[in-house]
Every structure is written in structure tokens, then in C-alpha cells.
Chains A and B, each alone.
Chain A
Amino acid sequence: MNYRVVSYVIGLVLQVEGAFLLLPLIVSLIYKEHIWQHYLIPALICFALGWLLSRKRPQHETLYPRDGFITVALSWLILSAAGAIPFVLTGDIPNYVDALFETVSGFTTTGSSILTDVEALTRSGLFWRSFTHWVGGMGVVVFIMALLPMLGASTMNLMKAESPGPSVERLVPHVRDTASLLYKIYIGMTLLEIACLLLSGMSVFESLTLTFGTVGTGGFGVLNSSIGSYSDLQQYIIAVFMILSGVNYSFYFLIISKKFKDALSLQEVHWYLVIIALSVLAITINISAITPNLPTAFKEALFQVGSIITTTGYSTADFGKWPPFSQTILVILMFIGACAGSTGGGIKVSRIMILGKTIRKELATIVHPRVVKKIRMDGHTIAHETTRSTNVYIAIYSIILFMSVLLISVDEFDFTTNFTAVVATLNNIGPGLNTVGPACNFAHFSYFSKIVLMFDMLAGRLELFPMLVLFAPSCWTRPVKLSFRVKHILRKK
């Protein structure tokens, strides 16, 4: 492994986090909370450590796939560990494990909380909590790649490790331009939603925090009732932006580059929208009996479906009280997740599509044993490696899911709670059902279960492999320096 490059990138991540920590500092100054020093100290520590790690540019700049995976996994661990410090210092969340849970949940855009009373938090604490969603949504390593002219083409391996989707491809020739393009779209979307919410009469603070939670598909609110107490218009704005954030970003790229026809023919986006439409329809009918009128039923169905499929986790209604049919649809949507290449989590619509098509192909080979068939998407055949890694992904996904359920069942909660808690964290959604439902939180779990769930959140956000690679001993060995060896042998002769 190329330790130099890994530590260089991690150093940069720390410095960027230091810079980000200055934002809640400003918020605390604006609201005169007199806790600004609790942000300044971690920020300075991040700067100092980051500077130490990245002060020397590595000579050997190639990042192999395993380096990319390890860098990203470690970056996210360190990012979370450092990001939790302000919560402890300001006293918002005095316990470090709880603070870490909240931060991991923030950066991975999960939105599961251990807080029983969100409104008791300081303003700056709330801001930082929501801002971690925004940072984690598009990814901090991608942010660094967009910012700094770094290390050449092999940084593609970093992007592959951090960005979601079965096959991460660049949009434009340069990796760096791809990264900055993604962030431009992301920032554009953020500003647009902030503007919409401000126009609808929301306060600046709430517009900012809720937007961070929406475009990052996170789900931390600032009120105990999540989004439920906002006006209908504001709820619709947030619902629409949640659904937009779950769309594959190459859709927006194609729109920007004026390839409307290509954009509109993206199959994944079709499926995504069809799934949303069908779910909303089914749930609206199903819950119309328990809601006052049909428009309310539609509004609640749309918001909850949008929130769950994009893995955001905001809520306007306690779907824990909905009929089982609607609850089941929501749990299925939790698994499906958003589109690949979006900020959402879950298995991803494109993986589901590939799986569906693989199944159809297998059926075809039973009917015609010698048939030669290719799986196609958007007019291109899908490489065998992609289908294979999708299958493996599903397998590992199931193993982690059931292992986690087993591990947290030690806490002796009911099965629905345990199962949906793992589903909600592994898919980066936020609320589950029963005692982890939208009206409840994760505070009652033991430390051990919280650590398991934190792992699930990170594994879910980074799409399993980077976190698993950390446990593979062969990844930690040093590469053989070829030229040195050869010279040595020649000299001996």
C-alpha cells in the first residue's frame, strides 16, 4: 500500500474539515451563543494534524484501487471522529459515543438520531449537524478532488470508492473536472432550494439546515416534529427537492450540456420515477381512510415515499401508525434506494435493474440453453464485471444486514425494531419502524449496538467494499519497489 499518498489525502480531508468547522463557529457568533471556542479548537487541531500529514507531497503519486478504497474508508472514519468533538465540547451531546453516532449519521446522510429533544440543541450545533449531511452527500474526497489539482488520473480510484453506483464513470475527460462539475450541480441545487424555501417564508436558518438535509438526502431536522409542522407549500418544496436529489447526476449533466434527448431516455430515471409514482398511488389509496381528505393523503404519501426512496428520512406523518401494506411498501423502498450517481443511499435503482435483467437472462437460458444474450442499459451492453460485482454486492449486503440484526438483537428489542433499525442505517435512511420510527429515536440502544449501526451507516454510504477492505490484511502490505529491486540484483552481479 502507498501509505504516503493515503496520509496525504487524509491530511487534506482534515484540513477541509477544519475549514468547514469555521461555519458553525460563525453561526454561534451570529446567535451570540458564546461557544465559538468549542469550534475553533477542533478546527485548529484539524488544521495542524492535516498540515502535518499533507505537508510533503508524495513522490510516488499513483493510487491503486486498494489505496483508493482504504483512503476513502479511513478518511470517513477520521472525518466522523473529528466531527463529533464539537458536540461533546459544547455540551449538546456530552457522551462521545452518542456524539460519534450523530456525526456518522450526519456524514453518511443517514439522519438517524439519538437525540430525544432536538429543539434543546444550540443553533450552531443544529447547523453543524445538518451541514455534515451536505458534506457527506457528494463526498468529502470528491470535494478535495474538485478543489485541488491532485495526483493525476489515478484519483479515479478515489472517486470510484466514494461515489455510489455499480459502475462509476467520469462525465468529462478529466477526473478533476468531473468532480468539480458534480459539485457545481450540487451547489446549484442547494442554492435553488434555499431560494425556494426563503420565498415560501421560511427563516434563513431553517432554509439552510433543511436544504442541507434535503440535497444531501440526510434527514436531520431542526424541530422535534421533523417537517410535519411546516406549511403545505414548504412540504411540497422539500418533497420535490428530495426526489430531485435522488436522480442520477448524469441526468443533470446531460441537461446542462443540452443533450435533452439523451437525458430523457435514461432508463434508470424512468424506473425511479415509475417506482415513486406507483408507490405514491398505492399508499394514497391505502391511507385515505385514516387521513381527513384525499389531498392530505396524497401529500403525506408523496412526502414519505420521496423521503424514503431517496433515503432522506424526513417525515411529515408518523408512518408507524399507517396500515401494514403502506409500511411494507416503505420498507421495500428503503431497500431500493435512489439512483446511482445521486446523493441517496440504498441498493440503487440501477442495481435493481441489473438484477432484474440478470434474472430474465437466466430464465431465457433455461428456455433456450444455448442462447447468447447481453444485458443492456441505455443502449449499451453492461460489462460482465458490472453484473458480477452487482451480484456480489447483493450477497455481501445481505450478509451484513443479517449479521447486524443478529448483533443488535442482544439488546432484546422486538424484531421489527431491530430489523428496520439496521435497514434504516445500512441504507442511510434514518427512521425505521416501532421504537425507531419517525417519532422515536435510537437513544435506547446499547453502545455496542450503536457501534454496529455506525459501521452499517459507513458501509452503506461507501457501498460496502471500502469498509470491508479495511479488514483485509493483504491490503496493508507495502508494494515492492520494482526499480529498486532490479537495481539491487544487477549490482550484486
Chain B
Amino acid sequence: MNIIMVGCGKVGYSLVEQLSKEDHNITVIDEDAEEIRNITNNLDALGIVGNAVSFTTLQEADVAHADLLIAVTGSDEQNLLCCLIAKRSGHCKTIARVRNPLYVSEIEFLKKGFDLGMIINPEFEAANEIARIFQFPSAVKVDTFARGHVDMLHIKLTQDSPLNGLRIMDIRSTLHTSILICSVTRDGHTRIPNGGFVLQEGDEIGFTARRKETTAFLRKIGLSKNRIDNAIIAGGSKIAFYLARLLMLSGINTTIIEQKRERCEQLAELLPDVAVIHGDATDQNLLLQENVSTTAGFAALTGLDEENILLSLYVKGINPAAKVITKINRITFSDVINQMNLDTIINPQVITADFISRFVRSMDNTDSEVENLYKLADGQAEALEFVIKEDSNATNTPLAELSLKDNLLICCIYRNGQIIFPTGQDCLKVGDSVVVVLSGFRISDIKGILKD
């Protein structure tokens, strides 16, 4: 597919990185020649220096033959205008990043008015993600598949977890649950385990199960934290605003600590039910005053990564039971960050890039059966959602009799409104929605699950 990417900031960069690996032809437009040089030197993309609102620049990028234009510059209006012009001068789909909270309630109108394929608001998506994690406080991360019907929870095995030293095939008989472990991350390396894999302390496992069984399972392994009822948010950024609103809607008492007086006034006006505190979130006394030692949830959302990390480590230290979320903008040094005792790390750029690449995947549908693509564990593993359109070697044969590739797992089947967590006796049928977890390679249709 021919993709034009407008703006190569952090989101633009990670998107180009992802999409060029998926063999798309990418042309990047940015006004900053230095950024363009950086991106064309490191990634497989053609660079054009110029303002993408200008029709001449878009023509230079061959907009007439583009399939998709993604506008992720710093300015909402520029993004929208550029999408509009591209739409008029070619027949590409368009994606615009719009982050001004002012436009949030008008997103549907904008989407229709500008005929956009998708509008993405990174802060809103990040807030959504955080809110979802607060629903399952014991999970490090929650992914949802099959239009929200299936959850994949990622949990970290603590020192006293009953799963330590257990083989995966023995879990079912020992704990009498039918969860399916899809991925294990150990020492920063993610793999798709087979039945003989032995779990150990410190592993991060991703598993799927029915909702009811998920709760039961978490209880059995001693991770049944209750749903949180109060949360503190450090920093009054846009994410904080969206998050506070979402949390209030689900009845969680929320406190925001913000340093700037003006912003506090603004927040207080927009969020009448939220306790807005004017003060420095890095002030230890203030934090203690606001009961950080007993809070159930804590989100460090200030503008500085270092500050967020320090705050999270501090809260985790005095209040180990709390669910702590750390926002980090720059993904560099992820090795170091992963070694620290942080619960959950949120990166708005990665979330945005994931969202958009999922859209691109679904656009690609004509030549590939992949409906959706989810990145797991820093992109080391992926969950692909297929809709089976025709019979093949892979269908109508019990899974136990198929010779599946290594590092690949069929995670669940969504058939006629029902979720099936497959065992060896189940088989795939036409019309099924199948979620496949894999790592280290990529497949483009369901036949790809079989060994060559």
C-alpha cells in the first residue's frame, strides 16, 4: 500500500518503523529537514521536506496514487486541512490526529464532515487504556480482542505465586481452571510457551479465559485485588483530564494534583466532581497529605518521564498494594525501565501507533485475511485476528491433528456469538473469527499457521 505520513515526530517515527516493516511504500512529509534526514537514514521511507497542506508538496508525494494519508503533525487544524486537501486531490483514505479536548465531543461530526477514515486522539486512548487497567488492578496490562469480547490479561508472577515451578500443562489439573496461557515474557524476551514450559518467579504471563474464570483464577493464585475505589493522578495533563472523567463515570473517587494554578482552575471547571489540588506532585508531604499511602490507584502523568518514574517508585515503596501507572514518552532505555519495579507503563505514542497500524491492517484486508493486529509485549509478540473465509487444510480438522508452527498458539475462536477456548478436539470452521498469538514471524492468512 502507498502511505503518505505527514509529520514525523515520535508517533510518526514509530508508525513508519512499524509500517515499513510490513512492506508498505511510505513517503514522509515534514517541514523540518533534520527530522526527514533522520527518518530516511534509519527507516525504509522516502522523505519530502515541505508543508503537507500545500497541494504542490502533496503532489510531489504522489498523492494521486496514495491509498492512505496519516496526518500526525503537532497541529490539529493542519492535520485536518491536510486530510481534506489529500481527499480532494486523490482518492486515499485519511487518518488525522486531533488532540484538542475542545473537539472531542465533535469527533463524529468532524469525521463525517471531513470524510476521515479515523480520528485518533492519543491522550484519550491512553486514558482509556489506564481506565481499563484500573478495572483489573492485578493485571499489568489488558488487551481486548474480538470487538471487546475477549480479554487478555498480563500478570507478573510474584515470589509467592502458586504458579512458580509449575508446568503449563499441569495448571489445569492443579488449580482446576481452564485458562490459556498465551505468552510468557522472561528477561525481556517474549515467547509463546508450549505445555512443557515451566513458569518461574518474575515471569510476565498473558492469558485468556472467560470473564468468570478470570476472576476465579486470579483469586486462586492470590491476586484478587478488588476493583479500586479511589485514585490519585499526578499532573493535570490532557490524559489526566480524560482519565478523571472516565474514572468519575465508573464511580471512582479521583484526585488530580497539578502545579499550575490556571490549569487547576480549568480542570475544576471542567470536572466538578474531581478533587483538584494545586501543588507540586513531587512534594512528598503533599502526597502523604493526600493519602498516597492508602490510595488504591496512582497514575503518574506529569510531563517528565524521570519524574513519573521516581514518583511511581516512591508510591510503590510506601504503598505496595496500590496499582501504579507510569506514563513514559520516550521508549529508549526500555531495558532499564523494565528492570525497575514498576506496575504498568503507558506510552501514548505506542498506543497511537498501534491503533493506526491496526486500521492499516484492516484496510489491507483485500489481500490478507487479517482483520486486526495487536502488539503484545513491546511488539515482541503479536495477536492476529482472522476471519476464515474459505475452507483450507487448516479447517475442519481437530487442532490436535494439525501440525502447527512453533511459537504460535490459537488463543480463541469466536463462533456465532460464542467464545471457544480451543482444546485439541476443536476445529476451525468457515465464518469463525480466530485469534492467533505468535512471535518472531508473521502470517497473512490462516493457512500460515501450519508448518510448511
Query: Which A residues form the contact surface with B (CB < 8 A)?
Result: 152-154, 156-157, 169-170, 172-177, 380, 383, 482-483, 486-487, 490
**Can you show 16 pairs from A to B with CB atoms below 8 A apart?**
A153-B43, A153-B44, A153-B45, A154-B42, A156-B44, A157-B41, A173-B20, A173-B25, A173-B45, A173-B46, A174-B44, A175-B44, A176-B44, A383-B33, A383-B37, A487-B339
Additional pairs, 11, CB under 8 Å, beyond known A172-B46, A380-B49: A153-B44, A170-B40, A172-B25, A173-B26, A173-B27, A173-B46, A177-B25, A383-B33, A486-B333, A486-B335, A487-B335
Residues of chain B within 8 A of A175, CB atoms compared: 44
- B249 on the interface (CB 8 Å rule)? no
Interface of A is mostly: helix
CB neighbours (8 Å) of A380 from chain B are 49
CB of B21 within 8 Å of the partner chain: yes
Q: Are A483 and B42 in contact (CB under 8 A)?
A: no
- The answer to whether B335 touches A153, judged by C-beta atoms less than 8 angstroms apart, is no
- CB-CB nearest 10 A-B residue pairs: A153-B44, A173-B25, A173-B46, A483-B335, A153-B43, A173-B26, A173-B45, A174-B44, A490-B339, A486-B336
Q: Which residues of B contact A173 (CB under 8 A)?
A: 20, 24-27, 44-46
Beta-carbon nearest neighbor of B50 in chain A: A380
Q: Are A153 and B42 in contact (CB under 8 A)?
A: yes
B residues less than 8 Å from A486 (CB atoms) = 333, 335-336
Whole-angstrom distance from the CB of A262 to the nearest CB of chain B? 9
CB distance from B26 to the nearest CB of A (A): 5
Residues of B within 8 A of A177 (CB): 25
User: B33 — which chain A residues lie within 8 A by C-beta?
Assistant: 383
Chain A residues, Cβ within 8 Å of B25 = 172-174, 177
A320 to chain B, nearest CB (A): 46
Complex partner residue of B44 from A152, A157, A383, A482, CB under 8 angstroms: A152
Per-position 1/0 for B13-51, Cβ under 8 A of A: 000000011011111000001000100111111100100
Q: Determine the chain A residues whose CB is within 8 A of the CB of B20 once the complex forms.
A: 153, 173-174
Interface hub of A153, A482, A487 (most chain B Cβ within 10 A): A153
Q: Which of B26, B27, B45 has the most CB of A within 10 A?
A: B45
Inside 8 A of A169's CB, which chain B residues have their CB? 40
Q: Nearest Cβ distance between residue B65 and chain A, in whole angstroms? A: 10
Least CB distance, B40 to chain A, in whole angstroms: 7
A157 to chain B, nearest CB (A): 8
Q: How distant is the Cα of A327 from the Cα of B336 in the complex, in angstroms?
A: 66
A483, B338: Cα distance in complex, Å:
12
Which residue of chain A lies nearest to B27 when distances are taken between CB atoms in the complex?
A173
Q: Name the B residues within 8 Å of A172 (CB-CB).
A: 25, 46
Give Cα distance in the complex from A180 to B49, angstroms.
Answer: 25
Rounded to whole angstroms, the CA-CA distance of A173 and B333 in the bound complex is: 29
* A21 CB to nearest chain B CB (Å): 32
Within 8 Å by CB of A156, from B23, B24, B41, B49, lies B41
Of chain B, the residue at the smallest CB distance from A176 is B44
Contact partners of A490 in chain B: CB under 8 A: 336, 339
A154, A173, A175 pick with most chain B CB within 10 angstroms = A173
A128 to B124, CA, bound (A): 65
Report A29 CB to chain B, min CB distance, Å. 37
Closest chain B residue to A385 by CB distance? Answer: B37
With a CB–CB cut-off of 8 A, which chain A residues contact B43?
153
Q: Distance (Å) between the CB of B94 and the closest chain A CB?
A: 19
Query: In the complex, A487→B23 CA distance in Å?
Result: 33
Given contacts A152-B21, A153-B20, contact A170 B46 (CB under 8 A): yes
How far apart are the CA atoms of A152 and B17 in the complex, in Å? 10
Contact residues in A for B49 (Cβ distance below 8 Å): 380
A175 to B23, CA, bound (A): 11
**Bound complex: CA of A380 vs CA of B48, how far in Å?**
11
Distance, CA A153 to CA B43, complexed state (A) = 5
Write the nearest CB–CB distance from B416 to chain A, whole angstroms. 40
Chain B residue, CB-CB nearest to A485: B335
- List residues of chain A with CB within 8 A of the CB of B45: 153, 173
Which residues in chain B, 328-364, are within 8 Å of chain A measured between CB atoms? 333, 335-336, 339
Closest chain-A Cβ to B43's Cβ sits at a distance in Å of: 5
B24 surroundings in chain A (CB, below 8 A): 173
What separation, in Å, do the CA atoms of A380 and B27 have in the docked complex?
Answer: 17
